[in-house]
Amino acid sequence: MTFEPTPEFAAHLDAQDPLHLFRNLFHIPPGPEGGEAVYLCGNSLGLLPRAARAAVEEEFASWEERAVEGHFLGAMPWMHYHENLTAATARLVGARPVEVVVMNNLTVNLHLLLITFYRPTATRYKVLMEGGAFPSDQYALESQVKLHGYQPDDAIVELVPRPGEYTLRTEDIEAKIQELGDSLATVILGGVNYYTGQAFDMAAITRAGHAVGAMVGFDLAHAAGNLLLHLHDWDVDFACWCSYKYLNSGPGGTSGVFVHERFANRPDLPRLAGWWGHDPADRFQMKKGFRPMPGAAGWQLSNAQIFPMAIHRIALNLVDEAGGMPVLRQKSEQLTAYLEFLIRRLQLPKEVLEIITPQDPNQRGCQLSLLVHRNGRELFDHLASVGVMADWREPNVIRMAPVPLYNTFADVQRAGAALADWALIAE
C-alpha cells in the first residue's frame, strides 16, 4: 500500500476498516483542549472497555445479595469463575484449554513457573535471558538462582546486541544457546522486548533450547494480545503474561499462565502448591497430601480474583468479537506501518532520531521505539501538549503503540503531524 500523510487519506483507511467501530467500545481519554486524545500507550496500560464497569457491578450485586452463596449461585458462580476465561485464553495464545489458566499477577506466576522449570544441577545451572529485560524479570531470576545457591553473575547469561545494533539477531541467540550447551538449564525471554519493541522468534528459540536439553519459557507481557501466538505448536514449555496492556483488563489486572500439555499429568513435578490447584474432587475434604489438577490449573494457589477477572472476561470477549488475533494482527501491521511511514518521511538524521524497533513486521508488534538523541524530553512534552499520549523510557526513548482495537488511522496521522511540527521547530 502507498501511504499518504493527509487527514483525508487516514479517514479513507478508517472508513474501510472493519474494526473501526470497536473504538466506541472503549473510554478514550480527553485531549488537553477538548476532544479525544491520541492514546498510544496500550503497551503500558490498555484503555477501559465500556462494558467492564457493569461486569464488576454484577459481581458486587452478587456479593451484596448472596454473600458467601455467590460462590455457588448466580449466572457465573465464583467457585468456577476462572473456567469462564479458559477457552478464550487458549485461543488468544494458541494453546489447548488444558494448557492455560488465569490466576495471580505476572511476576507471581513467573516465580511459580520457575520453581518448576528452573531445576539446576551442579553442571546444568545456567539461565539465558535478554540483557536489559524488564526489571521484574531480572529480579525474579536473580532471586531464583540465589534460592538454589548460585550467584547471578555466574548463573545468569545475558544476550546483548552486536556493537552498533539495538536488537538481537536470532542466529546469535541460537549460537549462544548452542555454546552454553549442557550447562544451560532454562531459557527465559520476553516475547517482545519492552524497550526496543523487538519480537523474538519464539519457535526457533524453543527448538534451539530443546536441542541442548534446556527448558524454554517466555514472559509474554508485551506479546499477549499483540502478536499471533502458537505456544502449543511451537512446543514452548511454559509462559506467563499480564492482562493490563494489550488485553485492556485494568491496572494490576490478573495474569495468564501456559504450561505445555506434556506436563499436564505430572504430579511429580516440583511446584509451590495451593488449595485451588488441588484435585477438586476432594478439595473440600481438607486433607493433607496435595494432588494437583491436570494441566496448568494445577499451578493455582488461591481461589479466583473475581473483580479483576470480571473485567478480564469482558476484555477477552472483545478480542473474540473482533475476530480474534488474526484480524487484530492484520490491522496492527497496517497501523504500525503507517506510523513508521510518517516518521521516516521526516527524514530526520540518525543523530536526531531513529527507530530502534525492527523494520520487519515479523520482528515487532505494534510498538515503535524512537531513540531521540536531541531534546527527547522536549519532544515528549510537545506530543503531550497537543494531545498525543506516548510513553517515555529513560534515558531517551519514546514508545508509541497504535493498538488495533481502539486506535484509528486518524490517530496515527495526528501523531505523525505532531512529530512533523516538532521537526520543524527543532531545525
Predicted model pTM: 0.97
pLDDT in tens, 201-243: 999 999 999 999 999 999 999 999 999 999 999 999 999 999 9
* Confidence band, pLDDT 50/70/90 cuts, at residue 101: very high
Residues 6+ apart with CB under 8 A from 325: 91, 92, 225, 227, 228, 229, 319
> Where does CATH 3.90.1150.10 sit in the chain?
7-50+324-426
At residue 426, the pLDDT reads 65
Phi-psi region of 269 (alpha: psi -120 to 50; beta: other; left: phi over 0): beta
> Where does CATH 3.40.640.10 sit in the chain?
76-320
CA–CA separation, 41 and 402 (whole Å): 8
pLDDT in tens, 146-164: 999 999 999 999 999 999 9
How many Cα atoms sit within 13 Å of 132 on the Cβ side? 15
pLDDT in tens, 170-183: 999 999 999 999 99
At residue 427, the pLDDT reads 62
Q: In what order do the strands lie in the sheet with 126-130?
A: 100-103, 255-259, 238-242, 215-219, 184-190, 126-130, 156-159
At residue 227, the pLDDT reads 98
CATH code of the domain made up of 7-50+324-426:
3.90.1150.10
**What top-level class would CATH report for the domain 76-320?**
alpha beta
Farthest CA pair distance, the chain:
73
Average pLDDT, the chain: 96
Q: What percent of the chain has pLDDT over 90?
A: 96
pLDDT in tens, 260-293: 999 999 999 999 999 999 999 888 888 999 999 9
- The three-state secondary structure class of 34 is strand
Tell me which residue of 336, 338, 367 sits closest to 193, measured CA to CA. 367
Contact 85, 309 (CB under 8 A): yes
